[in-house]
Chains A and B, each alone.
Chain A
Amino acid sequence: MNQFTFTGRLKTSLIIMMVVGLVSMGLTWIWDDEIHTRFWSNYLHNASFFTGISLMAGFFIAVCITAWAGWYAVFKRVWESFSMFLIVGLVLMAIMGLGVYFGWHHIYHWADPVAAVEDKIISGKTGFLNKNWYLFGTIVIVGTWYFLSSRIRSLSIAEDNDDNDTDFAKHRRMRLYAAIFLPIAGFTSAAMVWQWIMSVDSHWYSTLFAWYCGASWFVSMICLTIMSLLYLRAKGYLQQVSVEHMHDLGKFLFAFSIFWTYLWFSQYMLIWYGNVGEETIYYRTRFDHFKPLFYANLVINFLFPFFVLMRNDTKRKFGSLGLVAGVVFIGHWLDYFLMIKPGVMHTAHEHLSHGHDAGGHHDMSFQLGVQMPGFLEIGTMIGFLGLFLFVFFSALSKASLVAKNDPYIHESLHHHV
């Protein structure tokens, strides 16, 4: 079976997931405070999370093409289809940008026109953190990501339909687009992380935050790849994807979980060591109000994959690999929750109290959906996941599953670790 059929049953279940998401978002909107903080923070959390995953899929194809790698060729359609979600991500993040532009939400402290003038730190950042650049930058940069990813994908499909392309002209062209994509994705993803995610804590910054977010996106992308491949294999597709490919994906999951931890710890240790109040406030908030999640983050995303995937055979058994992929995927979703919620809640409290006090004075008693994801957060996540998978499966069904004319396809089919 070299052609994926997007069955009606699968479509129905994904649509049900999306309906669950919409209902959750609707309920969040109704039960929210007057500026809809919970709704918009959940929206930003999931939209940026899934957009980043699709970027990482497109980016990693570009990495593999540039590195002349062959092992992934047999399932490259999966990554190509992941990257097709970027056009939806563009719309999702543009809505966020329009919200900044027209003042629909108060997620970002810097978007407050009074703060942008009176607040010294924020007024110093207005060259980058302003409503025009937020909207313009998001559309242009995510649009560029989508353009380059879709060029690579359409060349890859064209290559498959052209059996006479003996000098690999199409692959050479793909290599050009991939090489252009690498520096663009590298630099612009950092800019997007700053403005989408890091700027919810408008006073605070960390120079390795973009790497940290990127690593989180990358690990989530690998988790989703493992789970999708296991699903497709169970449905009888992609039988050419062997335990050897899964082993390599398991190694990526293991290695990049450690890389994520390295960045997480480096950021923490430097701020702890420097002991500058403007920086430590970031962790102070998380210690005081998000303690269970703060430690759970480290256990789920580091200790669990580290000790389970350390052995050779757990990476080669689909049960253990799939379990780790599922748990770590949720773990990184929680990581994003922890990046976004505290800063957003702080801004909301200041906005609602119409004060500009430097924080710490507001009531932060335990609330589901603030300190810990509640049912509505989980529902929203299910909705976004359903949307992501819907786009993924429909892109997957539009081309053959195994790219038979890829120059590296035979290397991939006989892959052996």
Chain B
Amino acid sequence: MAHTNRNVIYGLYDDEEIMLTAIKEANAQHLEIMDVYTPFPVHGLDPLLGLSESRLHIAGFIYGLLGTLTAFLGMTWIFTKDWPVVFGGKPHWSVPAFIPITFELTVLFAAIGMTFTFYIVCGLGPGVTNEVLDDRITDDKFCIAFDESEVDSAKAKSFLSSTGASEINKKILS
């Protein structure tokens, strides 16, 4: 994906509560927030930013179902058609013995499938480098970022300083 350079103006907050209040204020002022960066998931952030519910779990259900069917139908075919072996006098099609493996493959398929889907959707993977606005947003700072092409920079600056940002910086993201 080819990006044009983006001039970003961002403010760093020391506390997530101050940041959440600031976002409410930004919504009231109709300031277009480019993105918010936090070191951990913050409760109540998604609805404030107007993000819709993730559909990852729907994908997870489908992967899980695929795992269930793979395991169950796979074992059914192997133990009744492909290579029938008698174990302890049990019938070839022994459903109780299939359940643990069916369960395991359901979990495995769902976990791996969701992980890869997540990586693909987020554009992550080996060799990908992402420019980080500020290293401290992975540690203890909460960041609200504006794109200068979307908002008036003077307005954004005065908003950030008035809502308690401890630092205001500019950066060009390529």
Contact = CB atoms under 8 A, between A and B. Distances in A.
B1 interface: no
A272 interface: yes
A269 B98 CA distance: 10
Interface in B90-136: 96-97, 99-100
Interface string B44-70: 100000000100010001000000000
A254 to B, nearest CB: 14
Interface residues of A, number: 9
Interface residues of B, number: 11
Nearest to B44: A416
Given A275-B88, A275-B89, A269 B44 contact: no
Contacts of B97: 269, 273
Interface in B20-58: 43-44, 53, 57
Contacts of A273: 88, 96-97
A6 interface: no
Interface of B is mostly: helix
Nearest to A268: B96
Contacts of A269: 96-97, 99-100
A199 B63 CA distance: 44
A273 B91 CA distance: 11
Contacts of A275: 88-89
A312 to B, nearest CB: 8
B38 to A, nearest CB: 16
A375 interface: no
A392 B100 CA distance: 41
A265 interface: yes
A272 B44 contact: no
B99 A265 contact: yes
A163 to B, nearest CB: 28
Nearest to A269: B96
Nearest to B57: A312
A272 B90 CA distance: 10
Contacts of B44: 416
B96 A272 contact: yes
Nearest to A274: B88
A160 to B, nearest CB: 28
Interface string A298-321: 000000000000101000000000
A269 B96 CA distance: 6
B93 to A, nearest CB: 14
Contacts of B100: 269
Interface string A264-282: 0100110011010000000
B99 to A, nearest CB: 6
A274 to B, nearest CB: 9
Given A265-B99, A273-B96, A273-B97, A416 B43 contact: yes
A257 to B, nearest CB: 15
Nearest to A417: B43
Interface in A232-285: 265, 268-269, 272-273, 275
A273 B100 CA distance: 13
Contacts of A268: 96
Nearest to B89: A275
Contacts of B61: 310
Nearest to B87: A273
Contacts of A272: 96
A416 B57 CA distance: 20
A269 B97 CA distance: 7
Contacts of B43: 416
Interface of A: 265, 268-269, 272-273, 275, 310, 312, 416
7 A-B pairs closest in CB distance: A269-B96, A272-B96, A416-B43, A265-B99, A416-B44, A268-B96, A269-B99
9 contacts: A265-B99, A269-B100, A272-B96, A273-B88, A275-B89, A312-B53, A312-B57, A416-B43, A416-B44
Given A272-B96, A416-B44, 15 more contacts: A265-B96, A265-B99, A268-B96, A269-B96, A269-B97, A269-B99, A269-B100, A273-B88, A273-B96, A273-B97, A275-B88, A275-B89, A310-B61, A312-B53, A312-B57
